[in-house]
Structure 1
């Protein structure tokens, strides 16, 4: 969302659409204290109904966990970043059941397919599918993070997180 300043346009809000289809819930529901207690950053989580991850906004892939493919960080032009972490303890699968469609450094458009994951394989391994989507702590461009939870994310539309940017 752009707002016009006196002589130039400034980006004040970054609206993050849900990158995964499913129920949007509070981070405190994630069965991992680092995420649930906000130690990694603020945001929300999604209980997936489909094993696909889409770009939540236009930007670039700041980091794809190459070996495990269980997490990706997407960076906005403002410098704000969003970590999409598929499931809990899924790094232990060492990439089995995950397929990446992008690499670190790639430019992406909102709605572009980033990753696929095998929900049945993750559950068969006894792991939670609940997927945190957070804005990591310590980003200079971020003022505050406002999660929107309690509804279903259908496809990659709607609003999961509003990031209030510093001007």
Structure 2
């Protein structure tokens, strides 16, 4: 009667750019069943072209594997968490080839260097450099996760959107 339209309310979201430069891979292309089956969560992977991992958003380091340094869990101010798992079978290196620039509990800014790794050391030790970036399952505050770009070079481009 009065021409009022209901405005669709979209839940808040976080745009995630790739924390590594390199080639985008869908999770089903990862040669590890835990990631390719999405048992670890939704997301994507990168075949890196450099050994640098940067923060994909402002947040806090919820957990870094202190001995192996191969995985980082970063938490957004909303409570949403993102796992960056560098390479496959890299836990076996026990930190060899990895340099962490952050510690558990550190506050970080988008683009800040979190971790460096020597890609040649990983390869020489039989480890893949393919790096899954996933939203771990079991986070009740997340309503959905969308891959929004499959650009072959996703650096500085939104690749994932998390709705909470």
Both structures adopt the same fold (TM-score exceeding 0.5): yes
Match of 2:154 in 1: 153
TM-score by length of 1: 0.89
Match of 1:30 in 2: 30
Counterpart contact for 1:25–1:46, Cα < 8 Å? yes
Answering whether residue 57 of structure 2 is matched by residue 57 of structure 1, we say yes
Q: Give the number of equivalent residue pairs.
A: 155
Counterpart-to-counterpart distance in 2, 1:138 and 1:94: 28
Per the alignment, in what secondary structure is the counterpart of residue 99 of structure 1? strand
Structure 1 unmatched ranges of 5 or more: 1-9
Counterpart contact for 2:11–2:163, Cα < 8 Å? no
Larger radius of gyration: 2
TM-score by length of 2: 0.91
Counterpart contact for 1:25–1:150, Cα < 8 Å? no
Tell me by how many angstroms 1:126 deviates.
1.4
Distance 1:11 1:116, change over 3 A: farther
Tell me by how many angstroms 1:127 deviates.
1.2
Match of 2:3 in 1: none
Tell me by how many angstroms 1:11 deviates.
6.7
Counterpart-to-counterpart distance in 2, 1:34 and 1:150: 24
